[in-house]
Amino acid sequence: MAQFALPPNSRVKKGKTYEAPADAKNVRRFEIYRYDPDSGENPRMDKYDIDLADCGPMILDAMIKIKSEIDPTLTFRRSCREGICGSCAMSIDGTNTLACTLAIEDVKGDVSIYPLPHMSVVKDLVPDMTHFYAQYASIKPWLQTRTPAPPDSERLQSKEEQELINTPSACILCACCSTSCPSYWWNSDRFLGASALLAVYRWLVDSRDDATGDRLDELDDPFRLYRCHTIMNCTYACPKDLNPAKAIAEIKKMLVERRL
Amino acid sequence: MANSDRPLSPHLLAYRWGSSMRMSLIHRMSGVILSFGTVALVGWLVSIIAGHDTYSVVNYLFGSAFGLFALFGWTFCFFYHLCNGIRHMGWDVGKGFGKQRAYQNGMLGLIIAIILTGGLWVFVLVG
The proportion of chain A whose per-residue pLDDT surpasses 70, expressed as a percent, equals 100
Question: What is the CATH code for A130-259?
Answer: 1.10.1060.10
Question: Chain A residue with minimal CA distance to B102?
Answer: A232
Q: Is residue B39 part of a domain?
A: yes
Residues of chain B falling short of pLDDT 70: 1-4
Whether B14 sits inside 8 A of A112 (CB atoms) is yes
Alpha-carbon gap, residue A22 to A115, rounded angstroms = 30
Among residues A218, A241, A188, A130, the alpha carbon closest in space to that of A2 is found at A188
Mean pLDDT of chain A: 96
Which residue type is seen at A245?
A
Per CB-CB distance under 8 Å, the chain B contacts of A95 are: 15-16, 18
Per CB-CB distance under 8 Å, the chain B contacts of A252 are: 92
Alpha-carbon gap, residue B40 to B78, rounded angstroms = 14
Chain A nearest-CA distance from B76, in A, is 21
Q: Is residue B8 part of a domain?
A: no
Indicate the residue of A42, A121, A235 with minimum beta-carbon distance to B99: A235
pLDDT for residue A55: 96
Structural domains counted in chain B: 1
Per CB-CB distance under 8 Å, the chain B contacts of A121 are: 6-9
Task: Tally the C-alpha atoms within 13 A of residue A227's C-alpha that lie toward its C-beta.
Answer: 20
Per CB-CB distance under 8 Å, the chain A contacts of B6 are: 37, 120-122, 128
Whether A116 sits inside 8 A of B92 (CB atoms) is no
Question: In the predicted model, is pLDDT for residue A2 greater than 80?
Answer: no
Give the helix/strand (H/E) hosting A45. Answer: strand A44-51
Whole-structure pTM value: 0.93
A120/B contact by beta carbon, under 8 A: yes
Domain ranges of chain A: 13-127, 130-259
Per-residue pLDDT, averaged over A41-45, amounts to: 97
Work out the number of other CB atoms within 10 angstroms of the CB of residue A73.
10
Work out the number of other CB atoms within 10 angstroms of the CB of residue B110.
19
Tell me, what's the ipTM?
Answer: 0.92
Which pLDDT tens digit goes with each residue over A91-133? 999 999 999 999 999 999 999 999 999 999 999 999 999 999 9
Range of the structural domain that residue B75 is part of:
19-87+99-126
Which pLDDT tens digit goes with each residue over A149-159? 999 999 999 99
pLDDT for residue B4: 65
Q: Is residue B9 part of a domain?
A: no
| Residue A124 and residue A132 in contact, taking contact as beta carbons nearer than 8 Å | no
Among residues A131, A124, A71, the alpha carbon closest in space to that of A99 is found at A124
pLDDT for residue B2: 52
Whether A7 sits inside 8 A of B8 (CB atoms) is yes
Q: Is residue B30 part of a domain?
A: yes
What phi and psi values does residue A160 have, to the nearest 5 degrees? -65, -40
Per-residue pLDDT, averaged over A195-218, amounts to: 97
Whether A117 sits inside 8 A of B24 (CB atoms) is no
| Residue A141 and residue A199 in contact, taking contact as beta carbons nearer than 8 Å | yes
Q: Is residue B1 part of a domain?
A: no
Whether A230 sits inside 8 A of B93 (CB atoms) is no
A57/B contact by beta carbon, under 8 A: no
Question: In the predicted model, is pLDDT for residue A240 greater than 90?
Answer: yes
Whether B8 sits inside 8 A of A116 (CB atoms) is no
Which pLDDT tens digit goes with each residue over A5-21? 999 999 999 999 999 99
Question: What is the CATH code for A13-127?
Answer: 3.10.20.30
Per CB-CB distance under 8 Å, the chain B contacts of A38 are: none
Per-residue pLDDT, averaged over A221-245, amounts to: 97
pLDDT for residue A193: 98
Q: Is residue B45 part of a domain?
A: yes
pLDDT for residue A1: 56
pLDDT for residue A3: 78
Task: List the CATH number of the domain containing B60.
Answer: 1.20.1300.10
